[in-house]
Structure 1
Amino acid sequence: MKTPVIAIVDVGKTNKKVFLFDRHYQLVWEKSAQLPETVDEDGDPCEDLELLIEWASGTVEDVMKLPDYDVKALNFTTYGASFVYVDKDGRPVGCLTNYLKPYPDDLREQFYDQYGPSDRLSVGTASPALDSLNSGLQLYRLKHERADLFAQVAYALHLPQYMSYLITRKPVAEMTSLGCHTMLWDFQRAEYHDWVKQEQLDSCLSVLAPSDSVKTVSVGGKELKVGVGLHDSSSALIPYLASFREPFVLISTGTWCISMNPFNNDPLTAEELQYDCLCYLTYKGQPVKASRLFAGNEHEQQIKRLAAHFNVPESYYKRVQYDADIIAKLQRTQPVDHEAVGDWLGMTPPATIPPFTQSAFVRRDLTEFDDYETAYHQLMLDLMAQQLISTALVIPGNSVGPISRIFVDGGFSHNSIYMNLLAAAFPEIDIWAASVAQATALGAALAIHEHWNPEPISADLIDLTYYPAPQIEPES
């Protein structure tokens, strides 16, 4: 007898994956691929859209033919800040612009002169001014730089919705994509921002569809419930929202460490935007206050520096376990910029928050450390000094009560030093390392649960490990 499953196509910048989950949301099958990039009309690297379409279409056909599984539903989750432009016949127009593509200075100046200033527009759209990472500015650029291509555009679809469109042929807009630092959405009025309407860009942005809605289509002669697609950061939050009712913060760690508080409804302030805060939208359309820290990237760079200095493999850090004695010694002997990071043993955030650039470790002399273990503990101390501030920015303002738990998923959830220092940073909050098998894909499956799965959502989707606050006594 075939196992009823939902298929999730998960498109990352590097890895493209497809997963099958059974009705208990156990992962039963997966496959991944890496697709080479191409270049756009300016010679800048970008996703090879033609190759992506071929892979996605072929992948869906293949999973429908698997002999052991009965695919009941299909959904998509992808990286955000990327538009696919579609003409009236459903064909792509132009390239899938890379959100890291440099933005022209003159066009940026023109845009903010007309619709800014940037800080006011950022507050209204809950989007830091991030050039091409603001997908609305990609669309504005197409209109003003490539009028010939823009004239052919019937729909501008964010990548998750385009992936769904490949199957349903129904163009829609969706909240988690619009709420992803696009600069398109007015968070106060819950509609497209005035500048979008003045530019008449809303005419190609499609009708909003509920994030948890589906369209029934026939694929390979079989009826399939197909979701509208989700932005990956918002999708990764769904397993936690499904599992916990008391207020929490999720720190999703990878290249970026993103602290997300779905219980903080306070509007973003200009100061918060200055320190890389933004708002996402949940699949239910509720604001999620978030802050970003480039800590994973810095960690990656600094372990290379440590490996070269101490003549060890770059992976050596994985052998280093939390040592309270080393932490206590470092806090006695290594200088800390108290004005910048506050009294960080008591973990009181400073009155004036410094800009997040690089941590203090970048400026430290490695010859001052006797061994790798001590130096690595110092790196984690310096990263945590910034993580404290970044996470603290999203904690105030909960409308349903104080935060009781912080969950950490991703790479740092397996790092005992990071987890123990985080527990010291927030001694009044329970700190948990969380493990969810493919949280982003699982979230996309859970979003359309009611349309395909008659079983109740399992209570044990997330594996948790508790980290009590360590007792570290600094020297007075």
Structure 2
Amino acid sequence: MSAIPGIAVFDIGKTNKKFFFFDEDYQIVEEEMQSFYETRDEDGFPCDDIHAIGDWVKRKLAEKLKDPAIKVRAVNFSTYGASFVHIDAAGRPLAPLYNYLKPFPEDLGDLFYYRHGGREQFATETASPILGNLNSGLQLYRIKEQQPHLFGEIYRSLHLPQYLGFLTHGKLFSDITSIGCHTALWNFRRNDYHQWVAEEGIGNKLAPLFPSDGTIDTFIEGQPLKCGVGLHDSSAAFIPYMCMIKEPFVLLSTGTWSISMNPFNKNPLTTKELQQDCLSYLTYQGMPLKSSRLFAGNEHEEEVKKLAAFYHLNPKYFHGIRFAQELTAPADDTAVASSFVFSDGQTVEKTYHDLIQHLVKKQKHSTELVLNDTEVKQLYIDGGFARNEIFMNLMAQAFPYMEVYAASVSQATAAGAALAIHADWNRKEDAAHLLEVKRYTV
């Protein structure tokens, strides 16, 4: 039997690190999940072990290049964002992979925004709320101010996807999906780095940009290999939908965060939208992607725990509750409640419907923030809530003027990283079969 040609993809999440091998039909031929013990930075804050992750990536790729059952034509990377690997001139990491959840020093933040126009103006220009270390550019600023010796030793700072690419092809590059995702580095109005990057001496620590849909030729284990530059995971997960849906649409990606993404909204972010947790990403084609965020998945999980304890049930019980129209309240235009309140005396099914209706009301407000002034008529919902028929039916009722679909792409983030460089490794035209949809109507 001849070797199966395809692409290797490393999909590095905060919890799980995964390896995939896709064939030319984007079928998963191999999949492996790896977990690593966390290490700690100099302040004792937990963070991923960049040395262990890097060693695993190099070892796994070398192993698969020797595998007679497959033919690895290309490799790409998708990882969580807001994480820099700071390297010296020899390419060795100089610092821990600082955790973006680590609190950013308040006094240092005050000084930074005082220097650069104030929080409101800065957030508007960079199309991102003020998010502390999630604004990864400020991680470099913190090192400059608080660890000047380390800052002086840094030759380049690479976002995590580009560092893993560097381990493979040996080139130092930045990527627009990592730079353009709530980093505070990019001025969306000028479509260039924000001026503070040069003013604070940060720019010379950043590698030149490389096209997100381009590849670098290299040889590993004596074999030619096309290497992608790596992608931020949120942008990678959006690529299958961009490639497969031909009509204007909004994607609501649900998980811990529910993120509404509208590539057809070209209006600049306003201060009011930023205050309501809107932001912009840059797609792998360099286009702004207006988005809004809601912590809906987290709220659902926490409330289900409370309901399970109150009704003496296993939390898994709620996964099986079917939609019943008679258990829903009529839609109203009252203000969105910040938290869910339930009363005893109701059945568990009625209370759970009330919870989902509460979340849908919040979601409607969040999604409408990116729908304003657009002609989009299709809403695709993927992730956990797409499998919740109560949520999906209520979303169809909340958006009666739109076609509402539950959508799924198997391993969308990894598939997106493969699709970004499709032309460089795949002899087939497209992968439209990857997208599965189910329409919900009122």
In 1, Cα distance between the equivalents of 2:266 and 2:282?
A: 11
Q: Which amino acid aligns with 1:424?
A: Q
In 1, Cα distance between the equivalents of 2:270 and 2:205?
A: 30
CA contact (8 A) 2:342 2:351 kept: no
Per-residue deviation, residues 431-452 of structure 1 (Å, max 9, x unmatched)? 1111111000000000001111
Q: Which amino acid aligns with 1:246?
A: E
Task: Tell me by how many angstroms 1:379 deviates.
Answer: 0.5
Please name the residue that 1:168 is paired with.
Answer: 169
Comparing 61-70 with 458-467, greater Cα deviation is found at 61-70
Q: Secondary structure of the residue that 2:319 maps to in structure 1?
A: helix
Q: Which amino acid aligns with 1:360?
A: S
Superposition map of 1:36-435 within 5 A: 36-327=37-328, 330-331=329-330, 338-341=333-336, 359-361=338-340, 364-367=341-344, 369-398=345-374, 402-435=375-408
Task: Tell me by how many angstroms 1:386 deviates.
Answer: 0.5
CA distance 1:42–1:423, shift in 2 (3 Å): same
In 2, Cα distance between the equivalents of 1:365 and 1:380?
A: 12
Q: Secondary structure of the residue that 2:431 maps to in structure 1?
A: coil
Per-residue deviation, residues 111-157 of structure 1 (Å, max 9, x unmatched)? 01111311100110111100100001101001111111111111110
Q: Secondary structure of the residue that 2:432 maps to in structure 1?
A: coil
In 1, Cα distance between the equivalents of 2:224 and 2:240?
A: 27
| TM-score, with structure 2 as normaliser | 0.98
Per-residue deviation, residues 24-77 of structure 1 (Å, max 9, x unmatched)? 111121100111111100001111111111221112122222221100000000
Task: Tell me by how many angstroms 1:360 deviates.
Answer: 3.3
Q: Which amino acid aligns with 1:312?
A: L
Please name the residue that 1:8 is paired with.
Answer: 9
Per-residue deviation, residues 360-390 of structure 1 (Å, max 9, x unmatched)? 31xx1441x4221111101101111100000
| TM-score, with structure 1 as normaliser | 0.91
In 2, Cα distance between the equivalents of 1:365 and 1:423?
A: 24
Task: Tell me by how many angstroms 1:339 deviates.
Answer: 4.1
In 1, Cα distance between the equivalents of 2:33 and 2:64?
A: 13
CA contact (8 A) 1:423 1:431 kept: yes
Please name the residue that 1:445 is paired with.
Answer: 418
Q: Which amino acid aligns with 1:97?
A: Y
CA contact (8 A) 1:321 1:416 kept: yes
Q: Which amino acid aligns with 2:322?
A: Q
CA distance 1:117–1:339, shift in 2 (3 Å): farther
Q: Secondary structure of the residue that 2:265 maps to in structure 1?
A: coil
Q: Which amino acid aligns with 2:211?
A: P
Task: Tell me by how many angstroms 1:242 deviates.
Answer: 0.5
Q: Which amino acid aligns with 2:339?
A: A
Q: Which amino acid aligns with 1:117?
A: G
In 2, Cα distance between the equivalents of 1:171 and 1:245?
A: 35
Q: Secondary structure of the residue that 1:460 maps to in structure 2?
A: helix
Per-residue deviation, residues 296-352 of structure 1 (Å, max 9, x unmatched)? 00111011101000001011111101110001xx449xxx7x4423xxxxxxxxxxx
Q: Secondary structure of the residue that 1:207 maps to in structure 2?
A: coil
CA contact (8 A) 1:6 1:20 kept: yes
CA distance 1:73–1:325, shift in 2 (3 Å): same
Task: Tell me by how many angstroms 1:359 deviates.
Answer: 3.7
CA contact (8 A) 1:20 1:29 kept: yes
Q: Which amino acid aligns with 1:340?
A: A
Please name the residue that 2:34 is paired with.
Answer: 33
CA contact (8 A) 1:8 1:445 kept: yes
Q: Which amino acid aligns with 1:422?
A: M
Q: Which amino acid aligns with 1:464?
A: V
Per-residue deviation, residues 402-438 of structure 1 (Å, max 9, x unmatched)? 1121111110010001100110111111011111110
Pairwise CA RMSD? 1.2
Q: Secondary structure of the residue that 1:240 maps to in structure 2?
A: helix
In 1, Cα distance between the equivalents of 2:174 and 2:55?
A: 23
In 1, Cα distance between the equivalents of 2:373 and 2:425?
A: 36
Q: Which amino acid aligns with 1:468?
A: T
Q: Which amino acid aligns with 1:374?
A: K
Q: Secondary structure of the residue that 1:226 maps to in structure 2?
A: strand
Structure 1 segments (4+ residues) deviating >2 Å? none
Comparing 24-33 with 71-80, greater Cα deviation is found at 24-33
Structure 2 regions of 5+ residues with no counterpart? none
In 1, Cα distance between the equivalents of 2:18 and 2:421?
A: 19
Task: Tell me by how many angstroms 1:459 deviates.
Answer: 2.2
Please name the residue that 1:351 is paired with.
Answer: none
In 1, Cα distance between the equivalents of 2:22 and 2:367?
A: 32
Structure 1 regions of 5+ residues with no counterpart? 342-357, 470-476
In 2, Cα distance between the equivalents of 1:26 and 1:211?
A: 23
CA distance 1:306–1:457, shift in 2 (3 Å): same
CA contact (8 A) 2:259 2:291 kept: yes
In 2, Cα distance between the equivalents of 1:7 and 1:94?
A: 28
